[in-house]
Amino acid sequence: MTKETIEQVLQFRDERNWKQFHNPKDLAISISLEAAELLEVFQWSAEDVRCEEKKDKIREELADVLNYCILMADTCGLDMDEIIQEKIKKNAEKYPVEKAYGHKEKYTEL
């Protein structure tokens, strides 16, 4: 994600004076609600697990999740790139390629 995109999300918020409403609890709730809307795209879809037929709705809900993630990171003073890179390192330690390659089990089961 580019700095420009992040700045556009924050500018949208600031132009509406909405920062006052963006506490960590309500942003975490909003991330979860938007993630649920993303799940709803697949509700009752049986074995349909591909993106093609639902791509427009997936785009919209995934963007909602990411927007709230940007707002949460900003509110908590977290750098998106930094926290993602830290998580990649932690996950690489939990899931070394030689153990995890081609396996879906949790790291405790590898």
Stretch 39-98 residues interacting with Mg ion (CB under 5 A): 61, 64
**Residue nearer to Mg ion on the CB measure, 61 or 74:** 61
* 3-state SS assignment for residue 16: coil
The window from 4-12, 26-34, 47-55, 99-107 that contacts Mg ion (CB under 5 A) reads 26-34
- Nearest to Mg ion of 34, 74 (CB atom): 34
Joined tokens for residue 18: 């909405």
Residue 35 binds Mg ion, judged by CB under 5 A: no
Distance from C-alpha of 44 to C-alpha of 85, rounded to nearest angstrom: 35
d(CA 102, CA 99): 9
Binding flag, residue 37, Mg ion (CB under 5 A): yes
Q: For residue 34, how many other CB atoms are within 10 A of its CB?
A: 20
* Interface with Mg ion: number of residues (CB under 5 A): 4
What residues line the site for Mg ion (CB under 5 A)?
34, 37, 61, 64
